[in-house]
Amino acid sequence: MLKHIVLFKFKADVEPTAIDQVNQAFGRLTEDIPGVLDICMGTDNSPEKIARGYTHGYILTMEDANARDRYLNDPVHKAFQRLVDPLLEEVLVFDFDC
């Protein structure tokens, strides 16, 4: 199994409704892309206050690194990127096997 962690720092002027659309679209990736087994998402609520402006986190569980590689090149994922990229100040991605 592989965990694909994504953190978003949205631009300051992004409306909450746009963020809701991003979350809905991200959630559908488990339905639309084979090998993506699960997604967990939420907003930062850490009392440590060291999130460096990242407000939304997503953890995708994938079958393996091959599933991740297919996901990255899947047309559905590419369409998702076109939706979200203009809304982001920064994105951070971190993958590991577990």
Q: What is the C-alpha separation between 22 and 44, in angstroms, rounded?
A: 16
Domains and CATH numbers, the chain: 2-97 (3.30.70.100)
Q: What is the pTM of this model?
A: 0.94
pLDDT in tens, 8-65: 999 999 999 999 999 999 999 999 999 999 999 999 999 999 999 999 999 999 999 9
Number of helical H runs and strand E runs in the chain:
3, 4
Give the helix/strand (H/E) hosting 69. Answer: helix 65-73
Task: Please list the alpha-helical segments (H only) found in 42-87.
Answer: 65-73, 75-84
